[in-house]
Copies of this chain bind each other. A is one copy, B any other.
Amino acid sequence: MATLKDISAELGLSVATVSRALNGFPEVSARTRARVQEAADRLGYKPNRIAQRLVTGRSGMVGFIAKLNADMTADQTFLEILTGLTAALAERDVDLVLSVDQHDDPVTVYERMLERGILDGFILNAPVPNDPRVAFLQSRGIPFVMHGQSEPEVHYPFYGIDNRAVSRDAVGLLATLGHRRIALLNGDIRFSFAIDREEGFREAVAQEGLNTPEAFIGHETPSESYGYTEALAMLSGRRGAQPTAIVCGSTLIAAGVMRAAKDLGLSVPADLSLIAHDDALPQFRAVNFDPPLTVTRSPLRDACSPLANHLIDHIAGGEADTLQTRIRAELIVRESTGPVPKGGTDPWP
Please give the residue numbers on chain A whose beta carbons come within 8 Å of chain B beta carbons, in ascending order.
Answer: 1, 46, 48-51, 53-54, 59-61, 66, 68, 71-74, 78-80, 82-83, 86-87, 90, 93, 95-100, 102, 112-113, 115-118, 282-283
Contact = CB atoms under 8 A, between A and B. Distances in A.
A102 B87 contact: yes
Contacts of A117: 1, 46, 48-50
B102 A71 contact: no
B90 A118 contact: no
A54 B51 CA distance: 6
16 contacts: A46-B115, A49-B116, A50-B50, A50-B54, A68-B83, A72-B83, A73-B79, A78-B79, A82-B100, A83-B100, A87-B100, A90-B112, A93-B116, A95-B116, A96-B99, A98-B98
A282 B73 contact: yes
Choose among A46, A102, A118 the residue with the greatest number of B CB atoms under 10 Å from its CB.
A118
Contacts of A82: 66, 98, 100
A213 B87 CA distance: 45
A49 B119 CA distance: 11
Contacts of A99: 86, 90, 95-96
A283 B73 contact: yes
A95 B96 CA distance: 10
Contacts of A87: 100, 102
A49 to B, nearest CB: 5
B73 A118 contact: no
A114 to B, nearest CB: 9
B102 A83 contact: yes
B100 A50 contact: no
Closest CB pairs A-B (n = 6): A72-B282, A98-B98, A83-B100, A49-B116, A86-B100, A86-B99
B71 A283 contact: yes
A98 B62 CA distance: 11
Contacts of A54: 48, 50-51, 54
A151 to B, nearest CB: 30
Nearest to A65: B86
Nearest to A44: B115
A61 B74 CA distance: 24
B72 A116 contact: no
A104 to B, nearest CB: 15
